Structure 1
C-alpha cells in the first residue's frame, strides 16, 4: 500500500545538520511515511549518523552525484508516497506533531503549501505565509518555500523532474512549469512545517551571475515574454511611487503636504 508521504533528505558533508534533520523526522507522531536519504559521498561522519538511525530509514545511499537537483531526482525515482517533501540536511520539521496535524485530513491539491520559519545562525527571523491563490505575481521576483511544500509525485511523472543543469533555481523553475504554465492546483496549509536555514547555497549565492543566468533562462521562454515586460514596467512604477505610498501612510505628514499641493495647484490656475 502506498504511503501518504515520502520525505527525502539530501546531504553532503553536513553531519551536524543531518543529525538534526533525522531526529525531527523520526520523532514524528505521524508514521504513514517513508524516509529516504541521498548522501553525495560525504567524507565527514555523515554515513555514521545515517547508520546509527538506519532502522528508521527506509532507503539510503552514499555515492557521488552531480549536484543537489540530481540527488533530489534520485530520491524521486525511489519514492512511493502520494506526496513528496524535500527536507535537506540542516532543515528540520517544526515540531513532532506537524505531519499528524497536516495529514489527519485528506488532501487533493497537487501542491500543499505550508508555512516555514526562516532562521539565521539559529534564530528565527521570519515566518513565511504562502498565498491562498497563486498567480505569476507570486513567483515574479519571489517564490514559495521548497522545504514546506508537499508535492504530489504525479507532478514529476506528468511534467518531468528537476532540471539538473540548474544549481540554484530548479525548484522555482518547477513551480513556473507546473503551477503557472499548467495550472496545477495548490492548497494553503496554515501549519509551520519546518525551519529553514538561510546559510544554504541558494540563499548565500543569489546575487551570483550563475544564479541570475538561471532566472533569465526561465524568463526568456516566449510564453512568459508575453507578459513579463508588463510586470517589469509596473514593478519599476511601484518603486518610483514608493515615497508617495510611504508619505500617505503617515497622515500627520500627508495631510499638510496634500494641502500645500492643492494650494499651489489652485494658484497656478489663477495665473
Structure 2
C-alpha cells in the first residue's frame, strides 16, 4: 500500500528541514512525499530542492492559503492513503508511517493517533499531550476531534466527499474530519501512539480573539454539512483540551 504525505509551506526555512528529515527517513513503506509551497522567499525553496528526488513532487507558486495548498497536494497524490504534515511539525520516529499503514485493514478507511505540542526551540520539551482516545459514534457532538496531523485517510474519500473548504480560514481541517467521520461515517482505527510533534503556537489558539473566531468557524462547519450539534458542543471542544496540559 502506497502512502502520500503532503506538506504545505510558506517561508518555513526555520522549521521545514526537521519536517522533511522526519518524512524521508521513514522505514519500510512505499512513500510519496509532496511539498506544496506558497511562493516562499526566505530560503524554503532552496532547502526543499536540496533533497533532490527524495521529494517526489514539489511546486512553489502563489496560492490562496494553507488549505488551498493542501488541496493541491491531495490532487497531486497518487498514494492509496494520504496524510498531511505541516511544515513546522515532524514525526516522532522513523516507523510512524509503517505503524499507521499496519492499521489499514480492508474495512478501515482512516487512522488517527496522538500528538504532543513541543517548545518552538526545544523539540524535546513537551508542553501539552493530546491523547485522542477511541472514537465512539457521536463523539464530535461532545467536542471530540482527532489531531489533524495524525489523521490519515484513503484517497478515494477525498475524491468521494471532497477536500478542504476555502470558505474557512482556520477550521477547514475540523470541517473535513467532521464531514468524513461524523457525517459520512468512515471506519476509523486508533493508533494509540504519539506520532507527531507540533510546535506550540497554533493560529486558532494564539489568543482569545482567535479562539472566538475559531469557535465561530466550528459552528459554520456544522451548518455547511447540514448537521445539528449538541447545545454544549462548542463549550466542550475547548474545555476538552484542558487535560492536555497535565499529560506531559
When the two structures are superposed, what TM-score results if normalisation uses the length of structure 1?
0.78
Rounded Cα–Cα distance in structure 2 between residues aligned with 1:89 and 1:139: 30
* Contact kept? 1:139, 1:176, Cα under 8 Å: no
Match of 1:68 in 2: 66
1:206 Cα offset (Å): 6.7
1:18 Cα offset (Å): 0.7
Q: Which 5+ residue runs of structure 1 have no aligned equivalent?
A: 239-271
For residues 81-120 of structure 1, the aligned pairs below 5 Å read 81-104=79-102, 106-108=104-106, 109-120=108-119
Write out the 4+ residue segments of structure 1 that deviate beyond 6 Å after TM superposition: none
Of residues 24-33 and 70-79 in structure 1, the stretch that sits farther from structure 2 once superposed is: 24-33
Of residues 107-116 and 61-70 in structure 1, the stretch that sits farther from structure 2 once superposed is: 107-116
- After superposition, the Cα gap between the structure-2 partners of 1:104 and 1:177, relative to the gap in structure 1 and judged at 3 Å, is closer
Of residues 124-133 and 200-209 in structure 1, the stretch that sits farther from structure 2 once superposed is: 200-209
* Contact kept? 1:21, 1:93, Cα under 8 Å: yes
Alignment root-mean-square deviation, CA? 2.4
Q: Deviations over 1:6-57 (max 9, x none)?
A: 0000100011211110011111123311000000000100011011102201
Max Rg structure = 1
1:147 Cα offset (Å): 0.6
Match of 2:202 in 1: 200
Rounded Cα–Cα distance in structure 1 between residues aligned with 2:126 and 2:113: 16
Of residues 77-86 and 191-200 in structure 1, the stretch that sits farther from structure 2 once superposed is: 191-200
Q: 1:215 aligns to what SS in structure 2?
A: helix
When the two structures are superposed, what TM-score results if normalisation uses the length of structure 2?
0.84
* Contact kept? 2:15, 2:87, Cα under 8 Å: yes
1:176 Cα offset (Å): 1.4
1:103 Cα offset (Å): 2.8
1:157 Cα offset (Å): 0.8
Rounded Cα–Cα distance in structure 1 between residues aligned with 2:162 and 2:39: 26
1:116 Cα offset (Å): 1.2
Q: Which 5+ residue runs of structure 2 have no aligned equivalent?
A: 240-248
